[in-house]
Amino acid sequence: MPYQVNIETIVSLVAVAVAILAVYFSNKNTRQQIRTEKLERLYQSIQNLSRYYGLFMGCWACILQLRNRDDKEIQTLEQYYQIRDQKITTIERRNIEELLSVISVLTDCYTKNELKKSLKEYEILMYSFFELVVHGGSIQQEIHFQNGYPDYDKFFEITENLKIRIIAEIKL
């Protein structure tokens, strides 16, 4: 006995197909919204972390004084730590650590290719500078930045380039 296709069966199949398509596009849209939110958080974290660069530069000048044996102003790490604590509080240091972690995780999870590479370079720059400022020395600085850290203009160029590229990713 041949199977008869009636209008109810056709309507039911069309309804199921429409529901499947709706779920698919809804999930795709949700994933895109999540990615956009994460990229916006990455942008915000870079912006917030970059505000500390001037303080890092000030502390670095103190570290250079500490390393200069002829300089009598800062002679011990303890003296440096007192100056550092006046410039960057413990709460700010924790905030910086959190921003570095956020940048690391979001870079690994939500970026790729050249943007990811550039963000990793930024992360290394800021992590090594932070490590140098907090401890008075940094292995990362010795490995990656033997000739010093970028000046303000170069740093501004780096961060602006990253932010422009993140915005471009958000708009995709």
Q: What is the pLDDT of residues 67-124, one digit of tens each?
A: 888 877 888 888 889 999 999 999 999 999 999 999 999 999 999 999 999 999 999 9
* 10-19 tens-digit pLDDT: 777 777 887 7
- Which token pair is 116? 């990811």
Q: What is the signed CA dihedral for 65, 68, 73, 77, rounded to 10 degrees?
A: 70
- List alpha helices for 51-112, DSSP H: 53-67, 77-87, 90-110
Task: For the chain, give every domain's residue range.
Answer: 37-171
Question: What's residue 42's pLDDT?
Answer: 96
pLDDT category, 27, cuts 50, 70, 90? confident
- Chain CA centroid to CA 169, Å: 14
Which among 63, 88, 165, 92 is positioned nearest to 122, based on CA atoms?
A: 165
Over the chain, what is the mean pLDDT?
88
The span from the CA of 74 to the CA of 29, in Å, is 57
What's the rounded mean pLDDT across residues 32-41?
Answer: 92
